[in-house]
């Protein structure tokens, strides 16, 4: 095997929290052939494995005593098209925002609201990335990959992925046992702009609404994101640490009596989705700092690394936040970030 395997490799530059930890083995693979070679290697077959993208949704809390595999690639192709639609295929290692730019440049609509989400194409289906009124599942067609235990090549169509809010089958039945190698999306050649998200309204109202393009949406979404979320290159973070909880509508009515300014959106099964950031802010925790970690001053859903925080420190801090929210509101927050 002529793939370079690094030992006791620092992952500090490979996670957006900027946690200093190491992997026993680390490898970058550039093709599916290299990936298969690696996975069939008798030495690595029984080793614990972690597939790493951009490390923007991961909190490392300990030394990774196994093999970290990072796929590197920049292949984006148009594989089919007609007058109305185009099917785009992208390799797992492609940077997500590069794919957005590829599509926006060609006026292929559907992912412009997902501009500037950090990370890779291969990770996007894992939690069905979403932002500013759009979710991956709305443009998703299929993906390909390989199971880690028996190296079975599999294709998943959209219906097979069990997509939900920040969820998919890759977080349950296939968790830690599937490497996504390719994703295909169906985008529109006659884009209909999706401008309903509250944060987009002000910037859009400043422009001529009749002449907006998906390029404008990409620019606006990028500006809104830069103004709200801390730059992980400066202050380590992984975006929203928790998911927005869906609570029973009776519970929402009770909360509303106590906190008239709480807002909620009806979701499925008589549930109401509320803002986790709002709960954290109401608990007086926005801007709270403990040691090297804390809640960001501008956004209550973002836990940050102020310097040399250890993963365990951030893990303990998020537990402390969860306990306070559970005691104050009787609501159990669920982590969005993958804690390793």
Binding site for ligand EPU (CB under 6 A): 131-132, 199, 228, 239-240, 243-244, 275, 277-278, 281, 286, 299-301, 336
d(CA 2, CA 37): 9
Catalytic position from the list 166, 168, 225, 315: 166
Choose the contact partner of 50 out of ligand FAD, ligand EPU, none; CB within 5 to 8 A by kind.
ligand FAD
Catalytic position from the list 34, 89, 112, 336: 336
Q: Is 83 a catalytic residue?
A: no
Of 107 and 275, the one with the shorter C-beta distance to ligand EPU is 275
Catalytic position from the list 91, 142, 168, 240: 240
Q: Is 28 a catalytic residue?
A: no
Choose the contact partner of 167 out of ligand EPU, ligand FAD, none; CB within 5 to 8 A by kind.
none
Of 190 and 261, the one with the shorter C-beta distance to ligand EPU is 261
Contact residues for ligand FAD, defined by CB under 6 A? 16, 50-58, 71, 92, 117-120, 122-124, 126-127, 129-131, 178-180, 229, 232, 237-239, 338
Check residue 193 and give left, alpha or beta (phi > 0: left; psi -120 to 50: alpha).
beta
**Nearest distance from C-beta of residue 67 to ligand EPU, angstroms:** 27
Q: Which residues pair with 157 in a beta bridge?
A: 142
**Nearest distance from C-beta of residue 84 to ligand FAD, angstroms:** 27
Q: Is 6 a catalytic residue?
A: no
Give the Å distances, CA to CA, from 41 to 4, 29, 34.
Answer: 13, 14, 11
Catalytic positions are: 166, 240, 336
């Amino acid at each position: 095997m002529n793939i370079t395997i690094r030992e006791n490799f620092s992952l500090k530059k490979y996670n957006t929290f900027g946690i200093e930890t190491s992997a026993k083995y680390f490898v970058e693979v550039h093709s599916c052939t290299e990936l298969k070679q690696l996975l069939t290697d008798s030495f690595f077959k029984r080793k614990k494995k972690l597939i790493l993208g951009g490390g923007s949704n991961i909190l490392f809390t300990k030394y990774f005593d196994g093999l970290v595999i990072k796929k590197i690639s920049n292949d984006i192709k148009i594989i089919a098209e007609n007058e109305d639609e185009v099917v785009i295929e992208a390799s797992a290692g492609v940077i997500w925002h590069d794919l957005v730019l590829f599509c926006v440049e060609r006026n292929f609509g559907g992912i412009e609201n997902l501009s500037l989400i950090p990370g890779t194409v291969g990770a996007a289906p894992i939690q069905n990335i979403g932002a500013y009124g759009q979710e991956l599942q709305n443009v998703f067609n299929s993906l390909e990959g390989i199971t880690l235990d028996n190296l079975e090549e599999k294709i998943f169509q959209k219906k097979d992925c069990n997509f939900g809010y920040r969820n998919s089958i890759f977080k349950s039945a296939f968790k830690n046992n599937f490497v996504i190698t390719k994703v295909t999306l169906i985008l529109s050649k006659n884009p209909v702009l999706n401008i309903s998200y509250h944060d987009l309204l002000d910037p859009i109202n400043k422009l001529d609404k009749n002449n907006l393009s998906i390029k404008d949406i990409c620019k606006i979404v990028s500006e809104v994101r830069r103004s709200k979320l801390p730059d992980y290159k400066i202050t380590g973070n992984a975006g929203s640490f928790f998911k927005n909880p869906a609570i029973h509508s009776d519970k929402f009515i009770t909360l509303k009596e106590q906190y008239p300014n709480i807002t909620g959106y009806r979701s499925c099964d008589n549930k109401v989705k509320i803002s986790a950031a709002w709960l954290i802010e109401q608990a007086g925790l926005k801007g709270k700092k403990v040691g090297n970690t804390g809640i960001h001053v501008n956004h209550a859903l973002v836990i940050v690394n102020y310097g040399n925080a250890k993963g365990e420190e951030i893990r303990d801090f998020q537990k402390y936040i969860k306990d306070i929210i559970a005691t104050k509101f009787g609501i159990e927050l669920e982590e969005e970030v993958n804690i390793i």
